Amino acid sequence: MSAVADSTRSADAEAPLAERDRIAALDVLRGVALLGIFIMNMPGFSHSVFALPAPPATALDAVVAALRDLFFAGKFNLLFGVVFGIGFALQLARIGDGERALAAQRGVAPRRYRAVRIYLRRLAFLAVVAGVHASLLWPGDVLVVYAVLGVVLLALRRLDDRVFALLIAACLVFPALAEATVATAVSPTTETLVAFQVEELELSNDRAYGHGTFLDAVRETARVFAWTTSSPFGLYWYLAFCVQMATGIFAGYVVGRRGWLQRLATSPPPPRLVTAALVVALAGNAIALVGAEAIVPALAGGPAVFATALARTLGRAALAALYAIAVVRFVGTGTPARWLRPLQLAGRMPLTNYLLQTLLASFCFYGWGLGWWGRSGAAFDTALAIALFVCVQLPLSALWLARHRSGPLESLWRFFTYGAR
pLDDT tens per residue, range 186-234: 666 667 777 888 899 999 999 999 999 999 999 999 999 999 888 888 8
pLDDT tens per residue, range 243-281: 989 999 999 999 999 998 888 888 888 889 899 999 999
Query: Residue 10: which pLDDT band, with cuts at 50, 70 and 90?
Result: very low
Residues 234 and 240: their CA atoms lie apart, in Å, by 10
pTM, two decimal places: 0.91
Query: Residue 360: which pLDDT band, with cuts at 50, 70 and 90?
Result: very high
Angle between the 271-290 and 59-71 helix axes, to the nearest 10 degrees?
140
CA distances from 401 to 68, 317, 419 (A): 31, 32, 22
Residues 169 and 165: their CA atoms lie apart, in Å, by 6
74 φ/ψ angles, rounded to the nearest 5 degrees: 80, -15
Residues 190 and 404: their CA atoms lie apart, in Å, by 53
Where are the chain's structural domains?
3-418
Query: Which of the pair, 421 or 206, is modelled with greater confidence?
Result: 206
pLDDT of residue 175: 87
Query: Is the distance from CB of 243 to CB of 149 less than 8 angstroms?
Result: no
Query: Residue 5: which pLDDT band, with cuts at 50, 70 and 90?
Result: very low
Q: Residue range 105-109: average pLDDT?
A: 79
